[in-house]
Amino acid sequence: MDGLLINSEDIITDSINRVLEKYGRPAITGSIRAQIMDIYQNFPNCKPMPGSEKLLSALGHARNINGEPILLGLASSTKTESFDLKATQPETKRLLDHIHPDRRVLGGDPRLRQGRGKPAPDTYLLALQVLNSDSQKPIMPNECLVFEDSVTGVEAGRRAGMRVIWVPHPDVAKEYESRKEDVLAGRCGTSNLGEEWQLGEVDDGWAECISSLEAFDFKKYGISII
């Protein structure tokens, strides 16, 4: 959610970098920003990221290649209290309301085992379990499409056996430019989870990187908008 659907990561970065600049320190990198995301709670000014409203609205009226409705779920490391703050603005609340509250899996969900957040696959697998409780036909992991902005999130999606669209912040994209294919395979070594059989392979076609949600190609994934 953060950095993908709403601009909370930019708010964090700008605030920290202003302080660092004041004391003559270098700006933080994308990887450092990712590590401190969850300690910030005051995000009432978050706004939708470019293309997010159009994407969720379209997917809410879309069909897959078999003519079946697309089910939307949210799998985020954001805690419930932080989520509520980030949904303060009417336009942000309207965006997030495209995903039914019962189909949201947030950080701290009691159904998740301790220490099994991203990059472990559990958050995505639980979100799929929730979707399947509403689905007439069971949805398999390989039928899911994950949208992620973080490197650890991409790994989580790949470990879950799902296809992944990586939409990184420009700073993160630059930082991992030479390792992009490793990121898409979930093989950046950001964790010591083991279980490498869960990871993808470089250039296996199960993940791609796009610059913005505005660049998502519905037809490429057999999605038609009604």
- Per the CB < 8 A criterion, the answer to whether 124 and 162 are in contact is yes
Q: Does the pTM exceed 0.85?
A: no
Residue 3 in domain = no
Q: Which domain holds residue 30?
A: 8-225
Residue 202 in domain = yes
Tokens of 55: 């994407």
SS3 90: helix
- Per the CB < 8 A criterion, the answer to whether 195 and 159 are in contact is yes
Burial of 19 by CB count in 10 Å (0-12 exposed, 13-18 middle, 19+ buried)? exposed
Q: How far is CA 204 from CA 73, 126, 156, 186, in A?
A: 25, 25, 16, 11
> pLDDT tens, 32-63?
666 665 555 556 778 899 999 999 999 999 99
Number of domains comprising the chain: 1
Min mean pLDDT across 40-44, 87-91, 100-104, 206-210 is at 40-44
Percent residues over pLDDT 90 in the chain:
65
CATH of the domain at 180: 3.40.50.1000
Identify the pLDDT of residue 89: 87
